[in-house]
Amino acid sequence: MYAIIEGGATPKGRVRVSGAKNSATRLLAAALLSDDTVELSNFPTRLVDVGHKIQFCQTLGADIRVDHESEHLTIQASALRAKLLSRDEFDVPIRTTYLLAAGQVIRSGLARVPYPGGCPIGGGSGGGRGYDLHMMVWRNLGANVTEREDHIEISAPDGFKGGAINFPISTVGGTENALLCASVADGRTEVHNAYITPEIEDLIALLRRMGAEITVSGTSHIVIDGRAGKLSGARMPVMTDRIEALTWVVYAILAKGEVTIDQVPFSPMQVPLLHIEHAGVDLLKNSQSIHVTPDCLRSGLVQPFELACGAHPGVISDMQAFYVMLGLAASGTSRIFDYRYPERIAFVSELAKLVDGDHLAAERGRITVKGPARFKAGVADSTDLRGSMAAVIAALCADGQSKILNVQMALRGYNDLSGKLSQLGARISIHED
């Protein structure tokens, strides 16, 4: 899949931030823990990742009804069962497949989940993230885990049992998996060195509405008193996407547009927005929106900066590419460090193809940006979700026609991307290969 972009248009108008990808797919997994109906509003129904996960859950027997117009999901998972599928059916291009284990185990005493897919940004075999910590979660909760040729098999005939989980590193996915499995386990589970992000707080909120007993102490200790079986039904909206909100802010700054961004989740974005303001951008804000105009640049250019990506509440790694973009509009040299995923630099060489001159340099854990730079039309490939979106923004800011290859990576994280860009006046079309 690729995008053809006619760049150079100045964005004007309003754009609404959708429900967060990194929350929505987790809430969908939590909904599988009940035989009752679970309804999720503000759900980003047009995300590529969401489509893949819904299709796989339906293959396992779940009844999921999608309303694209109202962005609403209705899940009834009483018929969900572990199934031995074909190799093609197990070939699901999403990273969070491990979250589908708990819903199967509570009904079948067994789960079969595809190997995690996703962005090749370092960590596991084949360049993708590993899944060893998920295997540890299942085993510590009493399951036997077997790695088959095309899937992982988790066997717990009597269900999960409460236990102790001590993560050697803080892990978002591991924490999510532990919450889901421990909520339906028999007995108490204590999770140490958990990573509690805003999206995980959203997951905890839904699990509590469904009847789970979860106590959070500090920023890394969670105690779950399991229900020893299925949870109840519930209704809840998905939190809005902090990474999408940041994306629109940066795009509007770079393109010198007049854009109002609605449904901004300000609470989890305090530090990321503070870095933008410290770079000389005077953001106009009310309780739920940000208005960006050329007048927001107090000196006419972004001021050079240095920042380090790490854990929430700071600038997380998924935001790194957008600060690289911001640095290209700065009047000097900016440096962006990433201590959590230091190998996340592949997108830089592709982004450079859309920048006029030598302005970008990357080495493990550090990206150096020499601004100000001009964007130019060209052809660039997508290396990961956020890197793909950075390339899309560069092409939108360049005069002329550009082609972004493998743009489905960006579509994994941005709900109705082409529709939202079009309503701002951008010219983009998505094509199948």
- Residue 96 scores a pLDDT above 70: yes
pLDDT of residue 433: 83
Confidence band (pLDDT; 50, 70, 90) for 48?
confident
pLDDT of residue 121: 40
Confidence band (pLDDT; 50, 70, 90) for 200?
very high
User: Do 411 and 47 form a contact (C-beta atoms < 8 A)?
Assistant: yes
pLDDT of residue 95: 78
Residue reference for tokens 């910590």: 133
For the chain, the average pLDDT equals 94
Segment 250-297, tens digit of pLDDT: 999 999 999 999 999 999 999 999 999 999 999 999 999 999 999 999
- Residue 27 scores a pLDDT above 50: yes
User: Do 324 and 367 form a contact (C-beta atoms < 8 A)?
Assistant: yes
pLDDT of residue 122: 36
Predicted TM-score of the model (pTM): 0.93
Segment 410-431, tens digit of pLDDT: 999 999 999 999 999 999 999 9
Helix (H) or strand (E) holding 249: helix 242-254
Residue at 422: amino acid letter: S
Q: How many CB atoms lie within 10 A of CB 308?
A: 15
| Torsion 315-317-322-328 (CA) sign | positive
Q: Between these two residues, 116 and 370, which has the higher pLDDT value?
A: 370
**Residue 224 has which token pair?**
């779950």
> How far from the centroid of its chain's Cα atoms is residue 422's Cα?
23
- Residue 147 scores a pLDDT above 50: yes
Backbone φ and ψ of 362, nearest 5°: -130, 140
Which amino acids are annotated catalytic?
119
Confidence band (pLDDT; 50, 70, 90) for 87?
confident
Q: Between these two residues, 388 and 92, which has the higher pLDDT value?
A: 388
